[in-house]
Amino acid sequence: MNRRSVTVAVTGINARPDNPGPGLAVARCLKAATSLNVRVIGLAYDAFDPGLYLPMWCDAAYLLPYPSAGEEAYRNRLAALHTQVPFDVIIPSLDAELPTLIRLAPWLKEQGIATLLPSAAQIQLRAKDRLTELAEESGLEAPDTQSVFRESALHTLPESFQQHWPWVIKGLFYDAKVVHSLAEASQAFNDIAGAWGLPVLVQKFAPGEEINLTGLGDGQGRLIGAVMMKKRAVTEKGKAWAGISIHDEALLTAARRLVAFTQWQGPLEVEVMRSPQGKLTLIEVNPRFPAWIYLSAGLGCNLPEALVHAALGEPLTELPPAAPGTLFIRYAQEVIISLDDFAQVVTAGEIR
Amino acid sequence: MNHALPSLTDMATEFPPHQTIARLALAANGFVFDPLTGASFTANTTGLAILQFLQQDHRSLPDITALLAERFEAPESALEHDVIEFAARLRDIFR
């Protein structure tokens, strides 16, 4: 098969064992692509991101400034890298960088860099404080949620909350803690508000088992492909350490409705709780691939590969449903780095 | 109206709904996988046979016991307890 050669930049290559960014898994999917010959450019935010030093997955790797350094600095760095190692497509893998990259999308297009990103409006639709609306449109339940701006407000939440423990305390963008008392809730509020700002969300805990779906929306209301997974072992942060592919028709139908309603463009992850009675409660929609995305390549439903085709404007047919019953187990290992290589990253922000 | 109450034996051999049992993938080595939930468990030869009979829509204790007796060439009286015990295990797994 004559495979098209393409260069793809991927962010989020930190791969921390307890809570990995999805970037390296995306890179591995791209290297496993059967229809593309992909040169991967890894884009890291920290000299300790291991993807910088794994040439089998990232052919070259560079440091980026954090988005918080400002849009101009971020754009200038991307422009310099694109001059140095032109890339055809960029796949962001972290929530925090998405607003910047969405604003930069028209500029990226001018530079000849393709993306498949949700719009700012779509990002707003899946915001954690708007889950109820999204759940209703998708035929799902939503947990009762309150936005809390100060710790003392935890004591005056409606009676229905005070009588319904545990709660889940969530940051608007990231992090979630299950708490069983007001004392724990106060601690979690302060931790999360300190790290991620206000408001902090308080949800009634939805009982059941968490199941996840990752997919790709084509921006015209169609879900191009989907992989569903049940975690079988988790890290202390509740991230998947092992999982198994499943098939839940109700979840798939809900995801299709969600993508149709939002006209979602790009990757997404839908997290739901399934009650013992089979009721699905939407707990989160992430606007990116999850860290377990390599399972999609393992199942022959390579979603990052499909994303590259879609970003390049190629017509896509829906991928066949991924079969249930395939497991993954994540493992941690060390990469050995010479002082010269580390110094090269720290001083020049690149390694090739 | 006079409703007949279920007997203790009926209650003891109440299996999970047919749609639950029907979706299970059964391997010859006794590994059982639920593609909806991702859960898995193992069953011995007798349990596996019971699941196969349930998937063929045999639901009653006498029916399943007779089929087991035929397959394993054992007296029905010796198998009835196994069926009741396995029904309880399935109820527990799919609670």
Q: Using pLDDT thresholds of 50, 70 and 90, give the confidence band for residue A298.
A: very high
**CB-neighbour burial class of residue A253 (10 A; exposed 0-12, middle 13-18, buried 19+):** middle
* pLDDT, tens only, A109-124: 999 999 999 999 999 9
Residue B7 pLDDT: 59
Mean pLDDT estimate for chain A: 94
Residue A17 has pLDDT above 90, yes or no: no
How far is residue A291's CA from residue A239's CA, in Å, rounded to a whole number? 9
Residue B2 has pLDDT above 60, yes or no: no
- Judge whether A43 and A9 are in contact, CB under 8 Å: yes
Residue B1 pLDDT: 46
What is the CB-side half-sphere exposure of residue A223 using CA atoms within 13 A? 24
Residue B5 has pLDDT above 80, yes or no: no
- Model confidence, pTM: 0.89
Which structure tokens are listed for A185?
């809730």
Q: Could you tell me if A295 lies within 8 Å of chain B, comparing CB atoms?
A: no
* pLDDT, tens only, A227-257: 999 999 998 888 899 999 999 999 999 999 9
Residue B12 has pLDDT above 80, yes or no: no
* pLDDT, tens only, B49-67: 999 999 999 889 999 999 9
Residue from the list A229, A243, A248 with its beta carbon closest to the beta carbon of B36: A248
Q: Could you tell me if A247 lies within 8 Å of chain B, comparing CB atoms?
A: yes
Q: Using pLDDT thresholds of 50, 70 and 90, give the confidence band for residue A24.
A: very high
Residue B9 has pLDDT above 60, yes or no: no
Residue A296 pLDDT: 98
The mean pLDDT value for A162-172 works out to 90
Size of interface A-B (CB pairs under 8 A): 28
Question: Which residue of chain B has the CA closest to A252?
Answer: B36
